[in-house]
Each structure stands twice: as C-alpha cells, then as structure tokens.
Structure 1
Amino acid sequence: MSAKRFAAVALAVHLLLLPVLPGVAHADDPAEAGPVQQTPLGPISALDKELLVKVRLAGLWEMPMGEETKTRAASTRVKEVGAQLASDHMFLDERVVRLASQMGVTLPNEPNADQQSWMAEMRSLTGTAFDDSFANRLRAAHGSIFPAIGTVRANTRNEAIRQFAQVCNQIVLKHMTLLESTNMVTDMGLSKPVAAGVAPAAAVRGDPVRASAQLPSDGPSPLVVLLMCLAGAVVTIGILRVLRPRGDVK
C-alpha cells in the first residue's frame, strides 16, 4: 500500500470513529424515549409515562400546600398564588388520573421523599418564613419539570399525550411566573430542587462560563470533538508530507 493510500485510510478510520465516541448521545435517537407500549389511545413511550407520573406527583404535594397558604402565609400575594396553584393542580390531577387510567399507567398515591421533606419543612413554618419556603420550593420544582414537559411535547407520537403536555406546559409556565411575582424567589428557587436540609447549588445568572460548567456532561464536549478532528487532520497531513515521494536528486 502506498504512503498516500495508507494516510487516506488512517484519516477515514479516524473520522468514522468520531461519531461513536463513548458518551456521545444523539438527541434524535428514538431509543432514548424507551420501549413503546400500545394502549387504547395509541402507543406511548417511557418518557410519556414518566410525564404522567411527574404531573401526578406534583399535584400530590402542591395542591395541599397551596391550600395551606390560607392559614400559614403572611403575604397576601403568596395566598393568592397558592390558591391559584391549588386550583390548577386539581384540574391537572383529574385529567392525569383519567388519562393514566385509559392508558393503563400506574400512578403514585403519595408524594415522593423529597416532596414530603418540603411539605414537612413548610408545615413547621408560618408567616414570612413559610412564604419564603413556599415560593422557592415550588419555583425550583416547576423549573425542574418544565424542560421535561417540553421534551415530551416535542417528541411524543401520542396525540393525547401531546395535548396533555401542551396544557401542562402552559400551566407550569404560568405557575413559574406567578411564583416569581411574589418577589421572594432567590437562588434556591432557581436551582435544581433538593430535599429539605440539603444545600442547593448556587443558581447561575448571566454567567455563560459558570452555566456551562454546571451542565451535566454525558461525554466529550463539542470543543473536545472539534479538537480531535483537527488533531487527526494535522497528523494525516504530517504523514503525507513525510512519506511523499521525493523528486530525483541531480
């Protein structure tokens, strides 16, 4: 094999290996949605079912805490927001229970451990301390589920799930805006939700360097992949130059 042909093969192998580097996820891979289950309302994926479970869980703790703003909150605005959140989640809960029943999806009947810790924290407080906990705990929870709803809305193949996700998207956005209108949302409310008693990571505002540092990484960053491509090209060019046939010396 000639030097040029060898270098060309080396470069081709290098480029072919790049798309299958360990940890590189492909957003358009249907397998990421999980196995598909057939239901009377059409096929649903694992992500579709997960949305139903998450909405049910949200209602199981946000409905009662919204109601409790009537007696625990000091701020009139927090009481108004709490009443609206309780009403909206009652509407969503009725809808998600009916939809899950039609699709054969099992839903939880009590909040998860983190949600129970938030409820216990708020029930130990009254007045402005309760207001602060309510605004931030609920804002963090809504911020966490918001992108998950968007993913299902964009990718589901089930029309009933798509319509439900559309409604959820609008309500969750509304709730985040309402909670922010209390003027009590701090870094805790803008961070990933954590169990009561666990310090949340500091929220990042307008700092692209810190923001990128906090993003979860499932594999090499685009910059690393680009550098690897450039390195492969440089190595190939070097091989070509070293092994290139030279003219006759006179």
Structure 2
Amino acid sequence: MATRYTIGSGVVITALALTLIALLIPVDRFGGTASAAVAAPAGDDDGLGTMSTAYGPLTAVDRDFIRKVRLAGLWELPAGRQAQQRGTRPPIRTAGDHLVDGHTKLDREVIQVGQALGVDLPNQPSAQQQEWLSQMTRAKGDEYERLFIKLLRRAHGKVFALVAVVRAQTRNSMVRALATSANTTVLDHITVLEDSGLVDFDSLSDNVQPTK
C-alpha cells in the first residue's frame, strides 16, 4: 500500500514539475520576466524613457496612461452633463450622473498625480473626442441617446483593457493607485451604460469605428 502511495505521489510531483516548465517556457522567450508575458499596452512614447521618482520608476507607458485618464475626463465630463440635461430616459440621466461624479473625482486625482510625477497633462479633448461631442450635440431625441450610449460604452470598453494591463505591470505606486481608481470608475460607468438596454454589443468590435 505504501509503495502505491509513493508511486502516486511521484506521478503528481512529476506532472506538476512538467506543468511549471511549460509555463516558464513562454516567459523565457520574452526576456525571462513574468510581466513580459503580458503584452505592454501600445501608447505614445514621449521619448523620455524610464524616469526615477520617489514613488518608483515612471515609464513611457505610465505617462501615456496618466495622460489618457486626463483626456477621458475632458470629454466624458461634458458628455455626462449633456446626458443629465438632454436625456429623456431615466437610465440615460443616471449614466450622466455617474459620468459626472466619477470623472470629477478621477480628474482631481489625475491632476494630483501629474503634478507629483511631473507629467504634463492635456487641457482639452483630442480632435476625435471633440468630434464625438459634436456628433452628440447635433443628434436629436432617440438618435442622441443611442449615440451617447454607443460612443461612451465603446470608449470605456477600450480603456478598461488598458487600465488592467497598466495596473498589473506598473512599478510606480502612484500610477498603480490611479489605475485602481480608474478601474473602479470605468467598471461603474460600463455597468450603468449597459443598464440602459441600448448597447449594441455587435458594434463594439475593434473593426467598427464610431461615426465620424
């Protein structure tokens, strides 16, 4: 009986060892670190490389993320205020409330992070974001509400994936805290947007771009 248990234990240990080796092989191919196995998010490289700060290394990806959080607030705050005023369905007005509340708090935090880490932040929405706001301003009635949900849900879906990767990979404690806050805010916004019942999930494919 003891021999049977010994053999069984040996098989389990061998299987676990083989599994561990299989998991480590892809890591070695990416340079020998576990975090490298997860692709870093694509972003704008400001050419400053990795900088030393009191809160840990600050990479180009970290700085790009901080700027993207600021940009999100610059167009989603006015979009939320517009939904509060123009929404005829209660879920649209509720989504507007959440956008305004969430991005007011997140914008305050990202400004503090930018100042502490010496990151220059944008002060107006990008050209694309301004166009999205213009589209919503021109739309009327039901068309407006559906466009609002479409543009905001798709934008939040994309940033949600970015937040997760940055949160997992950054070695800067301030960026990590900002990513944690952003994750909570974005998930809340995705939830209330979907609660409207107007999300067309087929249109969320990366191959489908918001109307220009």
Fold shared per TM-score above 0.5? yes
Question: Partner residue of 2:131?
Answer: 117
Aligned pair partner of 2:106 in 92, 108, 128: 92
Aligned to 2:211: 196
Deviations 1:59-94 (A, max 9, x none): 000001100112222211101111111110010001
Contact 2:94-2:192 at 8 Å conserved across structures: no
Does 2:36 match 1:28?
yes
Structure 2 equivalent of residue 82 of structure 1: 96
- Give the Cα–Cα distance (whole angstroms) in 1 for the partners of residues 202 and 121 of structure 2: 29
Question: TM-score with structure 2 length normalisation?
Answer: 0.75
Task: Give the C-alpha shift of residue 32 in structure 1.
Answer: 5.6
More helix by share: 2
Query: d(CA) in 2 for partners of 1:141 and 1:65?
Result: 12
| Preserved contact between residue 153 and residue 166 of structure 1 (Cα < 8 Å) | yes
Q: Separation in 1 of the partners of 2:209 and 2:54?
A: 37
Find the aligned partners of 1:62 and 1:191 in 2 and give their Cα distance. Answer: 21
Q: Which residue of 2 aligns with 1:171?
A: 185
In 1, Cα distance between equivalents of 2:117 and 2:172: 11
Distance 1:152 1:87, change over 3 A: same
**What is the letter of the counterpart of residue 191 of structure 1?**
S
2:51 pairs with 1:37:
yes
Q: Identity of counterpart residues, as a percentage?
A: 35
Is the contact made by 2:40 and 2:165 (CA closer than 8 Å) also made in structure 1? no
Cα distance in 2 between the residues matched to 1:70 and 1:98: 27
Provide the residue aligned with 2:172 in structure 1: 158
| Deviation for aligned residue 1:128 | 1.3
Structure 1 counterpart SS, 2:147: helix
CA distance 1:48–1:128, change in 2 (3 Å): same
SS in structure 1 of the partner of residue 52 of structure 2:
strand
Q: Which amino acid aligns with 2:72?
A: A
Query: Could you list the runs of 5+ residues in structure 2 that have no partner in the other structure?
Result: 1-25
What does residue 10 of structure 2 align with? none
* Superposition TM-score, scaled by structure 1 size: 0.64
- 2:67–2:121 Cα contact (<8 Å) kept: yes
**Number of aligned residues:** 175
The structure with the larger Rg is 1
One-letter identity of the residue aligned with 1:155: Q
Deviation (angstroms), 1:154: 0.4
Partner of 1:106: 120
Superposed displacement of residue 39, structure 1: 2.5
Counterpart for residue 207 of structure 1:
none
User: Is residue 130 from structure 1 mapped to residue 138 from structure 2 by the alignment?
Assistant: no
Q: CA RMSD in A?
A: 2.4
